[in-house]
Each structure stands twice: as C-alpha cells, then as structure tokens.
Amino acid sequence: MMHLTQNNDERLTQAREHMLRQLRERDITDTRILEVFQSVPRESFVLPQDAGSAYEDYPLPIGFGQTISQPYIVAYMVSKLRLKPSDRVLEIGTGSGYAAAIISKLAAKVFTVEVVPELYERAKATLKKLHYTNVICYLRDGRQGIPEEAPFDKIMLSAAPEQMPSTLLDQLKLGGLLIAPVGSIKLFQQLRLYEKTGPEKYKETDLLDVSFVEMV
C-alpha cells in the first residue's frame, strides 16, 4: 500500500511540475503565482475519477453542467488582477473552490459565491478540509454579489454573463479591478478587465477570446 501511495505521489509531483512548465512557457512568470500553483493540490478539487488529469491544461467537468477551468486561464486571470496581500476579493462562481483557494494565498480574504447547492456544499467542505480559513462561501445568485461586504478591491467572475451586471461593478472600490468573461455562450465571449476610475466610470480592456460556462 505504501509503495502504491509513493508512486501516486510521484506521479502527482511530476504532473504538477509539468503544469508549472506550461505556465512559464505561456508567460506566467510571477513567482508568487507560480509558488501558489505549486502548493494548492488541484487533485483535491476535481472529481475522483479525474484526479489523474488534474494538472492537464484543459477544463474538467465537476458536475451540474459546470467545470473547473484550465490552470492557465486561472493563472492568467489572477495575474491580471495584480493581487495584494491586503486585498479583499469577491469571486463569482465558486465551482470546485480551486480558484478561491489560489486567490486566498495571494490576498487577505476571499468571498466566493455559488448558486448550485451541491457545488457550494462540496467546495465549502473541500476548502475547510484543506484549511483555507480566509475563504468565506456564500450560496446565492452571483449576479447580486455580496453587497453587505462591499466594496471589494478585486472581483473575479468564473462564469460568463451575457452583459456585465451593474450590481457587481457597483461593489468595486475606486481604483479596483474586475475580470470576467462576457458574452453569450452561443456566440463568443471576451475576457474583459474593468478598472474603476470614478463613480460609475470604468476603463474596459479586452484581453482574450474565451469559452466559459454561462452564469446561472
């Protein structure tokens, strides 16, 4: 049994190193981000049957029509938020809880929202088991955000609205950043960065063509 466990641990270590090499090759060079991706056990956030593919650079199903995003997209989005150790971050679309775990290592506190009860319960249990104590999970409609905890320094959407809800932009601090895939699942989506420059004023930057699950 110990020999099998050691072999499995070696495979996971090799897969994790392969993921890190791929991230570096795609210009994810921030050492803080790379260290976090090395430390967070992605295999704990995927379905048991997919553990062997946890570190491959593609999305995996987590049930209920939802996915865990590929490592590169999570790393890219996190890098564009320019997270600081003092930041309070809102994440919309907890899903597996993986992105929240990553962000929690780079920021002071993460407030994450999930609308699917089963995913909420699973992610909350996983985050608790792995001792991510600065992640607070909420079960509610992501479009509403968490107004009672606003404003936030940074906001990240892990699911795509057809149009950016003003309720979420309103919960961003002046000078804060919001990153989100925006657009119809039937057409195309654009990964977009919003910077709040004044009351109800935002600088928008289109970053990448992407494909995310719809915000439900």
Residues belonging to the active site: 69
Helix axes 71-81, 2-25, angle to 10 degrees: 50
Among 81, 91, 88, 99, smallest CA distance to 115 is for: 91
Answer whether the bond into residue 61 is a cis peptide, omega within 30°: no
Q: How far apart are CA 9 and CA 121, in angstroms?
A: 27
Q: How far apart are CA 206 and CA 187, in angstroms?
A: 16
